[in-house]
Structures are given as structure tokens and as C-alpha cells.
Amino acid sequence: MTCNCNTANNNIDLTKVKPYGDTLNDGQMEFAFTLPVPYGDEASEAAKNYVKQMGVNEPACVYSKDMGGGFTFFIVYGKAQHTIDYTTIKVPKVDVEIMDRVECGEYIEQNIKREVVMVGASTGTDAHTVGIDAIMNMKGFHGHFGLERFKNVKAINMGSQVPNEELIAKAIEVKADAILVSQTVTQKDVHIQNLTNMVELMEAEGLRDKVLLICGGPRVSHELAQELGYDAGFGPHTYAEHVASYVITEIVKRGRI
């Protein structure tokens, strides 16, 4: 059995969108959360009441588990009543035509006529390299090769827990066109503090207007990046070709050939 989604979409009022479970606009939602209460019937009732206070009708606690130490995990189903106007939603995005790996190499050869240098790292106390490796390492991620495999690109991955000062120093040493900052750890907004510090150091060095500054991570958006003083931000589901396409077209646009 197949679903003709185009036909189905013709019946949807995008100004009044609700969650979909079994039938259109039934509002069915699933909530997964933990409360600091001991496991038992009272805990399940507390979970249902909590979801009900969120404006969800007919909450049903379908699963609960004792997490120990007076904490209980729940899965609760319910029917949401609120709707959203999808037509009013505008999301700031990196405005660039995405080229594949080969096209990026050809663009550099035809328009920049020199090697493009990018240096990146997971900075501060962030010990995770999965993000920066996915963008920079030759093998890449999820079938998308990293910048090391791009023709006419010199990609320098400094790894994790790199102080902002060291990343900047390396960028100066290799005359980088772009600095890539990866942030995976986001508890208590530590990524905001570290990303802000990077911009402040770049400005102090007089480099902010000379090097493209880009950040990425699971909680990074283009909007947040620009608010913090970065040229662009790349979040989940973006790959090396997204970053490369932006960097090389910006180099040409800004006359940094």
C-alpha cells in the first residue's frame, strides 16, 4: 500500500496545523520525560496531570520505569488542542546554492585559482570530535565525504579540547580562509559562552573581518550563529558540501581571491 502524499496535502489547512497520529488533526502526541517522584501509581497520575496542564486532553500514561533515587521515567500519550499557522514560519538559513564535492573543486579552480584553507576544531572543554570529523575528515559521515577529500581544499582538523587561542594561532599560521568551530556539549549553555569568547578573541586580534568564522553543532542554527557574531551556522543534517559551498562562494563574493 502506498500513500499519495501530494493528494493528502491538498486537504491540509496549513494555517491550522495539529499533530497527526492515526487520523488527520487528531492531535495525538507522545511525551517522554522524567519527574523527581518515587515510582508508583501516584507517580503515573502526576505525569498525566502534568501533561494535562500543558493543554493536552485525555492523557494516558502507557509506560513508567523506576529510575532510582526517587525519580521515575514516563511515556504519556494525549491529544493536543493547539494549532499553529505554518504559513507564517520563517527560518533564517544559509543562503547558498549547494554544490557537490566535485563541483566545489571545479568552482575553486575556476574562480579562486588557489587552494582554500580551512582550519577547525572542537574548542574549549568539548571533547567530542564526531561533528568536526564528519565535516573535515576524508571519510566524512553518512556517505558524505569530508573536506579533506575535496580538490583544491586544505583542511586542517585540530581535534578536540582545543583552546580558542590555539585555533586562532593556527589559523594565522596557515593563513586560513575560514575557521570552523564545532560545539557538541551544550549543557548549561556552555557552547554559547565558548562561541562568544571565540568572537571576542578574533576581534581583539583584528581578524574578525579577515577570516570567515563558522560554527556548527547539534544546537547550532544559522540564526544563533549570526546573533553571536559568526558568519554562518550549520546544525544537524548538514555536511561538508554545505560548509564548502558557503565558504568558497563567500570568498569570491567578498573579493578574497
Residues of the chain with CATH 3.30.30.60: 12-89
Q: What is the Cα–Cα distance from 9 to 16, expressed in whole angstroms?
A: 13
Ramachandran angles phi, psi of 214, nearest 5°: -130, 140
Burial class (CB in 10 A: 0-12, 13-18, 19+), 46: middle
Burial class (CB in 10 A: 0-12, 13-18, 19+), 112: middle
CATH classification (class only), 12-89 = alpha beta
pTM: 0.76
Q: The CATH number of 101-254 is which of 3.30.450.40, 3.40.50.280, 3.40.190.10, 2.60.40.10? A: 3.40.50.280
pLDDT for 116 equals: 98
For every residue of 216-244, DSSP letters joined together read E-TT--HHHHHHHT-SEEE-TT--HHHHH
User: Is the backbone of residue 108 left (phi > 0), alpha (psi -120 to 50) or beta?
Assistant: alpha
Do the beta carbons of residue 140 and residue 155 sit within 8 Å?
Answer: no
pLDDT for 190 equals: 86
Q: What is the Cα–Cα distance from 19 to 30, expressed in whole angstroms?
A: 10
Q: What is the Cα–Cα distance from 245 to 181, expressed in whole angstroms?
A: 17
What is the grid cell recorded at 129? 570530535
Residues of the chain with CATH 3.40.50.280: 101-254
Q: What is the Cα–Cα distance from 241 to 101, expressed in whole angstroms?
A: 6
pLDDT for 10 equals: 64
Which residues are known to be catalytic?
139
What is the grid cell recorded at 201? 578573541
- Binned average pLDDT, 10 residues per bin, the chain of 257 residues: 50 91 93 98 98 96 97 97 94 91 97 97 91 93 93 97 96 97 86 94 94 94 95 94 98 93
Q: What is the Cα–Cα distance from 196 to 198, expressed in whole angstroms?
A: 5
Provide the β-strand partners of residue 116: 153
pLDDT for 9 equals: 61
Can you list the alpha helix ranges (DSSP code H) found in 86-221?
101-107, 130-136, 164-174, 190-204
What is the grid cell recorded at 83? 494549532
